[in-house]
Amino acid sequence: MAPKGGRCSGLAIDVKNEILFAGCRAAQMMVILSATDGTILDALPIGSTADSAIFNPETNEAYSAQIDGTLTIIKETSPTSFAKEQTVQTKDSAKQMVWDSKTNRILLIAEDFLPPTEPPRAGVAGYGGKMVPDSFSILVVTK
- Report the sign of the C-alpha dihedral through residues 71, 49, 64, 130, in that order: negative
Backbone angles phi, psi at 63, to 5 degrees: -120, 140
State yes or no: pLDDT of 16 exceeds 90: yes
Fold of 8-141: Methylamine Dehydrogenase; Chain H (2.130.10)
pLDDT value, residue 117 = 77
DSSP assigned state of 80 = T
Residue (of 47, 59, 39, 41) closest to 9 by Cα position: 47
Residue 125 confidence class, pLDDT cut points 50, 70, 90: low
Residue 124 confidence class, pLDDT cut points 50, 70, 90: low
pLDDT value, residue 1 = 41
pLDDT value, residue 5 = 60
Q: Domain residue spans in the chain? A: 8-141
pLDDT value, residue 3 = 52
Query: Tens digits of per-residue pLDDT, 77-107?
Result: 999 999 999 999 999 888 899 999 999 999 9
Cβ atoms of 91 and 109 within 8 Å: the answer is no
